[in-house]
Amino acid sequence: MATPRTDTASFHAYLSSLQYPRIIALCGAGLSASSGLPTFRGPGGYWRTHEATSLATPGAFLCDAGLVWQFYSYRRHMALSVKPNPAHYALAELSRKLPGFQCFSQNVDGLHQRADHPREGLQLLHGTLFEVKCWSENCGYREENFTDPIVPALALPVDGKDPTATPDISDPKVPLSRIPIESLPQCPRCKRNALRPGVVWFGEQLPMQVLRNVENYLNDLAGVDLILVIGTSAKVYPAAGYVQEARQRGAKVAVINMDANDVPAGGWEDGDWMFKGDAAVIVPELLKPVIGEVVVPS
């Protein structure tokens, strides 16, 4: 297996040599970690006393929509408590500068959108916490919503001793009230169903339009010049497959990750790069020949 390069100079030289660059950024949780976004799971993968993955199913919503919404409302709140980092803004600026750039993101936290990433250049593979949609597929209603809490019933409890403090409801010792379904977000179109989070749950397909957009990009005869693998091991499909598909279309691979042992699917090939460290620092520096200095709002 080849040894990846680690120098910024060779990366900049390659990037500057591309006349009409076609670039993919495949993003994972490591990108959001640079914003300080904590994991939503506690020890052993649990949220309170529930295995977190067990709350991410249609069956869980049918069984206890209130509990599922409390879980996702907590995640929305935590995501809104942090800000997009310079890497988010760098990718957004790259999208504005390069028509041939696409960001394939596995993150549902809304940080790309809050960095004003052009929507036509952003493919959210797993949906987003900040889109809600009608439980009924026949209705089809969906909307973007960054309100926190989305309805009063989902407001975080107040500490009885300190009204300015908010208890951490991921702690099972903090009591949670049962929320009736009529107090949850309701569909304004059909007026018969609750709204649900617009994320992909276990057992569901990835968004069909997103998959079409990804495949149309990959199948373009112009090929792919570069794929940036940012904050993800890219070993889970379909994301892992995108690295291989990009390679088959001519792409070099650049991995940006805290783990220097994170090898992309298929291993290293001649001409690849590995940049170990914080994506918030590395990504803006790598993209500087195209986007210049990144401006992060105060």
User: Which residues fall in the annotated binding site?
Assistant: 134, 139, 187, 190
Alpha-helical (H) ranges within 192-238 are 208-218
Distance CA 205, CA 276 (A): 33
Reported as type and span, the H/E element at residue 104 is: strand 101-105
- Hey, which residues does 197 pair with through a beta bridge? 132
Residue 126 is among the residues annotated as catalytic for this protein: yes
Catalytic residue among 88, 112, 117, 126: 126
Distance CA 262, CA 274 (A): 9
Closest CA to 247 of 24, 91, 19: 24
- Cβ atoms within 10 A of the Cβ of 18, count? 15
Identity (one letter) of the amino acid at 97?
A: K
Which residue, chain included where needed, has tokens 């208890």? 167
* Burial of 264 per CB tally in 10 Å (0-12, 13-18, 19+): buried
Which residue, chain included where needed, has tokens 């993209």? 287
- Hey, which residues does 131 pair with through a beta bridge? 144
Q: What is the CA radius of gyration of the chain?
A: 20
Under a CB-based contact definition with an 8 Å cutoff, are residues 88 and 115 in contact?
yes
The angle that helices 8-17 and 279-286 make with each other, rounded to 10 degrees, is 40
Reported as type and span, the H/E element at residue 197 is: strand 195-199
For 91, the token pair is 């990718």
Under a CB-based contact definition with an 8 Å cutoff, are residues 242 and 216 in contact?
no
Catalytic residue numbers read 126
